[in-house]
Structure 1
Amino acid sequence: LGYLTGDTREPERGDPKWSSWKSENSMVMAWLINFMEPSIGRTYLFLPTAKDVWEAVRETYSDLENSSQIFDLKTRLWNSKQGEKNVIEYYNEMRTLWQELDLCYEDDWECKNDNIKYHKRMETDRVFVFLAGLNRELDEVRGRILGRMPLPSLGEVFAEVRREEGRRRVMLKEKPPTVPETSALVSRNPGKFLNTQPRSGMKLAYPNTCGEKPF
Structure 2
Amino acid sequence: MESRIATRGKLGYLTGSIAMPTESAPTFDAWTTENLRVKGWLIDSMSPELMGRFIRLRTAKEIWAAVKKVFYDGSDESQVYELNRKAFTLKQNGQPVSKYYSMLQSLFQELDHRDPPFMACAADTDAYQKKLDRLRVHIFLSGLDPEFDQIRRNLNWISTKVLLMFAVMHNNAPILLVLSPLLMLLSWWLNVPRDHLHLMGVPRPRG
TM category, shorter: 0.3 to 0.5
Structure 1-normalised TM-score?
0.45
Structure showing greater radius of gyration is 1
Query: Which has a greater percent of helix?
Result: 2
